[in-house]
Amino acid sequence: MTHSSIDDTNSTGVQEVPSTMRASVLSGRQRIGVEQRPVPAVAADEVLVKVAAVGVCGSDVHYYREGRIGDFVVDAPLILGHEASGRIVAVGADVDGGRVGERVAIEPQRPCRVCSQCKAGRYNLCPEMRFYATPPIDGAFCEYVTIQADFAHRVPDSVSDESAALLEPLSVGIWACRKARVVPGSRVLIAGAGPIGVITTQAARAFGAVEVIVSDPVAERRGLVEKFGATRTLDPLTESVADLGVDAFIDASGATPAVVSGISAVRGGGVVVLVGMGADTIALPIPVIQNRELVVTGVFRYTDTWPTAAGLVASGQVNLDGLITGRFGLDDVDKALDADGTPGSLKTMVVPA
């Protein structure tokens, strides 16, 4: 459809949607630049969102530097970025026009809704999933994006645009805590004090964990995660986690030694959740898993996490604004993607406007 659901600026004060937009496009390994692209047309069940802020994820960096993640290969120009927020500026024919003007956080996926996984409530595992910035689906390092209306989640005014964008990585942390069965009184070990580790630490505390132990070999990161709720930190190069006896271990590092040692830290009947992307194959301590009847599971995105994420941020239980260490415009997305090499960098944002 056209963008006719937007009224003329002169009569209503609502911004008219242009026909083209600026977009940062990945054209090859470490080749990225701004192009003019058509503003995407809005399907009947979609909304058009003017992008306000986009977080840089490790997957964006991986596609930029390596051109692939596992079976997902960048073999055509691609717009990166999937941690996004903005304001609805147009709606499809089947969407309430009253939603124009809403500030929203985008859940950047489109499941088929009819397969057995979707019908079982596991839409994150939909085999027909179309996910932002996963080849060949374009992402949000641009000025406008479309998303199905129910995946554009309204956020309260107390939540900033940047925090709204970071509800996406917070959703990863929430999903990890749900998979880890974190409840009030839980003791949790988290490996890795990068962005996901820090966010998952906050989520675990919000879920009621009384002890959240975080291991990371970098002293600066250990000090940072203590400010965001870790009750204790460990240097895995000098301190063992084997006898911790925690209820759950969440790996947010992807490091093979961290995964193997973390499994040994879990009490009988506990849970191991693998979040970090690491080696394709790891030799696991099978006797420990068998004898302790551990549940070992992965995390692949999330299902129905945005309302919880928005509530945790709005209530002050999770601080996302405090994670941001850099901001770049569309002309400098390459610098944003390379910011992980800057000492002290934690979470980098792209601001299209």
Structural domain boundaries in the chain: 9-166+320-350, 173-298
The full 3-state SS of the chain, as one line of letters, equals: CCCCCCCCHHHHCCCCCCCEEEEEEEEECCEEEEEEEECCCCCCCEEEEEEEEEECCHHHHHHHHHCEECCEECCCCEECCCEEEEEEEEECCCCCHHHCCCEEEECCEECCCCCHHHHCCCHHHCCCCEECCCCCCCCCCECEEEEEHHHEEECCCCCCHHHHHCHHHHHHHHHHHHHCCCCCCCEEEEECCCHHHHHHHHHHHHCCCCEEEEECCCHHHHHHHHHCCCCEEECCCCCCCCCCCEEEEEECCCCHHHHHHHHCCEEEEEEEEECCCCCCCCCCCHHHHHHCCCEEEECCCCCCCHHHHHHHHHCCCCCCHHHEEEEECHHHHHHHHCHHHCCCCCEEEECCC
Going from the first residue of the chain to its last (353 residues), give the mean pLDDT of each consecutive group of 10, the final group possibly shorter: 39 69 96 97 98 96 92 94 98 98 98 98 97 97 98 97 98 98 98 97 98 97 96 97 96 97 98 93 96 97 97 97 97 96 91 92
Over residues 1-26, the pLDDT tens digits come to 334 344 333 333 446 899 999 999 99
**pLDDT computed for residue 71 by the predictor:** 86
**pLDDT computed for residue 12 by the predictor:** 39
Q: Which CATH number fits domain 9-166+320-350: 3.40.50.2000, 3.90.1170.50, 3.90.180.10, 3.90.1570.10?
A: 3.90.180.10
What is the value of pTM for the model shown?
0.93
Architecture of domain 173-298: 3-Layer(aba) Sandwich (3.40)
**pLDDT computed for residue 278 by the predictor:** 87
